Structure 1
Amino acid sequence: MKHEVDLHQLINVIGDAVVVSNVAGKITLWNRAAEEMFGYTAAEALGQNLDIITPERFRARHWEGYHHSMETGTTKYGKQTLRVPAIHKDGHALSIAFTVAMLHDEHHQVSGVVAVIRDETVRFLEEKELKKRLIELESKPGA
């Protein structure tokens, strides 16, 4: 039995952000989870470049890797999860984890990239606090 899947609906109901950007780094798809995670509506995000979610101090490194992937058509983060800081529209810091996949046109040329992103800010902060407590406990006399 064949089941048709409405891909537009699927992209908008999943809990992870789905962000697609073209070769130039302009956002071409921004799902509801991305709106919730980053604070920008799709209307605000579409056509913008990825700097809207990339902290300024990481932008040069981000674009270096991005352009390398666009030129080579490859990425090392297809199966490997990348964990990086990000920024919300209101300026607060996020900790995100994502995988990416290269997209190709009908001529097999790179047309962009899709990122599936999860907000791990709470987990990151909890882990940071646990590490801090462990260091404190280990530094006590008799530990």
Structure 2
Amino acid sequence: MMHDAGNIRALTGSSLLEALLQTSSDAIVVSDAEGRIVFWNPGAARIFGFDAVEAVDQSLDLIIPEKLRARHWQGYRHVMATGHSRYGEGDLLSVPALTKDGRRISVEFTIVMLRDEHGTAVGMASIMRDSTKHFEELKSLRRKIAELESAAPAA
């Protein structure tokens, strides 16, 4: 079925932004300079289990495993103070995260710095994808390779 290119081009400005933000595939989480969640899309609800009402106005600690929080906040505060992140150039990061039911999952994500009209960092948008299945498959393959290597006769 052919679609009219004019209809696609008409989807601009706020309607395009709304369509992108309301995607249910990837999580889009926006946090302010203090690390409070100010936007939580349907993808975030699907991945993490918290709906927007539960997540908005909460600390990012909602999805950060406890033993990683100190390191996360040290980096977050540094990024907000300097306005720069070594991860803000489109790098794909992989980290553990928490779900509402307490499960630990793996997420891959990118960040986008949010700035005011003066260029000052005022928050961050994160676009995340659940990569738990992929992470577990890689871990299993590495374990099998190690077992094969240790069982192989020495040459």
TM norm structure 2:
0.87
Aligned residue identity for 1:76: R
Deviation at 1:77, TM superposition (A): 1.2
| CA distance in structure 2 between the partners assigned to 1:10 and 1:81 by the alignment | 19
After superposition, residues 8-87 of structure 1 pair within 5 angstroms as: 8-13=18-23, 15-78=25-88, 79-87=90-98
CA contact (8 A) 1:27 1:50 kept: yes
Which one has a bigger Cα radius of gyration? 2
**1-structure distance, mates of 2:28, 2:130:** 12
Match of residue 120 from structure 2:
109
Note if contact 1:96-1:118 (Cα within 8 Å) is conserved in structure 2.
Answer: yes
Q: Percent identity?
A: 45
The Cα of 1:100 is off from its aligned counterpart by 0.5
Q: 1:103–1:111: 8 Å Cα contact kept in structure 2?
A: yes
SS for the counterpart of 1:90 is coil
Aligned length: 143
Structure 1 residue runs without a partner (length 5+): none
Distance 1:44 1:101 in 2: 23
Aligned equivalents of 2:133 and 2:106: distance in 1? 8
Which of 108, 127, 131 lines up with 2:138 in the alignment? 127
| Alignment check: 8 A CA contact 2:27 2:128 kept | yes
What residue ranges of structure 2 are gaps of 5+ in the alignment?
Answer: 1-5
Q: CA deviation at 1:9?
A: 2.2
CA RMSD of aligned residues (A): 1.4
